[in-house]
A and B are shown apart, each in its own frame.
Chain A
Amino acid sequence: MSLVSAQGVSVAYDDAVVLSHVDFTVEPGEIVTVVGPNGSGKSTFLKVLIGAVRPSAGRVTRKPGLKVGYVPQKLAIDPSLPMTVERFMHLPSRRNKGEVGEALERVGVAHLAGRQLASLSGGQFQRVLLARAILGRPDVLMLDEPTQGLDQPGSADFYTLLENIRRDMGCAVVMVSHELHVVMSASDRVICLNRHICCQGAPEVVSSAPEYRALFGTGTHGALAIYRHEHDHAHDDCDHDCDHNHDVDREHTENA
């Protein structure tokens, strides 16, 4: 059965509709990238899937006993709270020491175990969060804009890491990204969300090397791919000429 499925999910805060009638499923082992502009409700969507936000309509079903590894968007660590990487890995429940070491090793931050969380760089912190998320072998990893603030080679490295984790551990991956056109090439599906699902499809992997290099430069070793949006509808709530170019369609999205 599907790991998580959402049927007709809508979320509204006061009068603002954040999500409307979203249908979605995640199958075991697949990688789904959810893209959308700012304010498109993609973070809310992820929170609905983990159960942090209750939908105002529709239903979310999780496979019984589903184990979710969650990587939040930003974790502002208050400097008043002392916390080493090692201690953080045992939160909330104490883990096997070997398992913790292995998880840190797998994401390449084993040398940071004794460091304070507040002293890590953005990329290091992201990897520590990922290491914690893979403890206990989750069925699905859910990541909220994990590559925000990373440059293209940095994003590519993170995507490669995720791909390897999926290969080795067999978990599904649901990842939210604000990059509309450049996605993880290992994505099985890309979903474009703008309060509803605008379109979905497979990413277009640029295969020939010179063309790839022209697009993404060097240092990204095939981890990135293009997603071409095929929007065949107009939004009802558009009161202006809506050409569905989400990049410039600011008025449409920023009041969400």
Chain B
Amino acid sequence: MLDDFMARAALAGVGVALAAAPIGCFVVWRRMAYFGDATAHAAILGVALSLGIGISVFGGVLAVALAIALAILSLARRGHAMDTALGVLAHAALAFGLVAVALLPGVQIDIQAYLFGDILAVSRSDLALIWAGAVAVSAGVLWRWPGLLTATLNPELAIAAGIDPHRERQVLTLALAVVVAVAIKVVGALLITALLIIPAAAARPFARTPEVMAAMAALTGVISALAGLGTAWILDTPAGPTIVCVAALIFAASSALSRAATTRG
């Protein structure tokens, strides 16, 4: 089955959707959308660096995404407005990445594939990495879930319960970097945030608890990935953006449904 590129693409999409769902919920709850974007943009710089020094793209992206995320946090702690810190580092990392790719001697790479994803070209080893990342993120989030949730609700409440909100934030940042690193091949650096936020936002109106919201976001992500791939196949459109389009349509339907339910009463 893994010999078929469509089967590999589908498995890759499902793996990324599962990893992105719980992290996406935290991104929504903590209003970190722009933070997710910045971490994702930094991935391009990671791609350039790993090609330049000849290490695996996954490792390079993970390291740079993590470094940029930690730099943003430390700039914000030193008194820069969060918005400003994000704006500077997100776009600086993207610009430096694009320049570095152009400067790489003798390397011909398709930058499009990293900006918008290239899910149909996922190899067996890519697939193994994606699923390893997805399992690691899910296990980590499951393990820290009570602390992450309490710190998200209110930092003081967390401290009074013996939980360190800074530590939880670091855990979340690390998990976000892993998601970026596994998702770049599937939807690309520019659309990773969409895969984090749209399924969570679509799940929100129908969830009464955080756990249900995360589960519904995962389901939405998986449906988007599979339906998006299928649609891309039929319409011959780029797969990554098509997946995001399907997710956006589900979000629109969910909003309309919840509005209808409220007005009816």
Contact = CB atoms under 8 A, between A and B. Distances in A.
A21 interface: no
B150 interface: yes
B109 interface: no
A51 B163 CA distance: 11
Contact of A82 (B30, B147, B213): B213
Interface centre among A72, A82, A87 (most CB of B within 10 A): A82
A93 B201 CA distance: 26
A51 B147 CA distance: 17
Interface stretch (B10-18, B52-60, B151-159, B249-257): B151-159
Nearest to A78: B29
B185 interface: no
Nearest to B150: A92
Interface string B197-225: 00001001001111011000000000000
A91 interface: yes
Interface in B149-186: 149-150, 152-161, 163
A62 B156 CA distance: 17
A12 B29 CA distance: 31
Contacts of A116: 208
Interface residues of A, number: 23
Interface string B207-248: 111101100000000000000000000000000000000000
Given A92-B147, A93-B146, A80 B204 contact: yes
Given A70-B160, A92-B161, A83 B154 contact: no
A81 interface: yes
A137 B152 CA distance: 25
Interface in A76-126: 77-78, 80-84, 87-88, 91-93, 116
Given A75-B157, A92-B161, A81 B212 contact: no
B31 interface: yes
A50 interface: yes
Interface string B1-37: 0000000000000000000000000001111000000
A87 B211 CA distance: 10
Contacts of A47: 156
A24 to B, nearest CB: 18
A52 interface: yes
Given A50-B159, A92-B149, A93-B146, A82 B154 contact: no
A68 B160 contact: yes
Interface string B116-152: 0000000000000000000000000000001101101
A71 B3 CA distance: 58
Contacts of A84: 208-209
Given A70-B157, A72-B154, A80 B28 contact: yes
Contact of B159 (A51, A88, A91): A51
Contacts of B201: 80
B160 A50 contact: yes
15 contacts: A50-B160, A52-B159, A52-B160, A68-B160, A70-B157, A72-B156, A75-B153, A75-B157, A81-B152, A81-B210, A82-B204, A84-B209, A92-B150, A93-B146, A116-B208
Contacts of B209: 82-84, 87
A117 to B, nearest CB: 9
Nearest to B207: A82
A91 B29 contact: no
B29 A81 contact: yes
A52 B163 CA distance: 10
A77 B28 CA distance: 13
Contacts of A92: 146-147, 149-150, 158, 161, 163
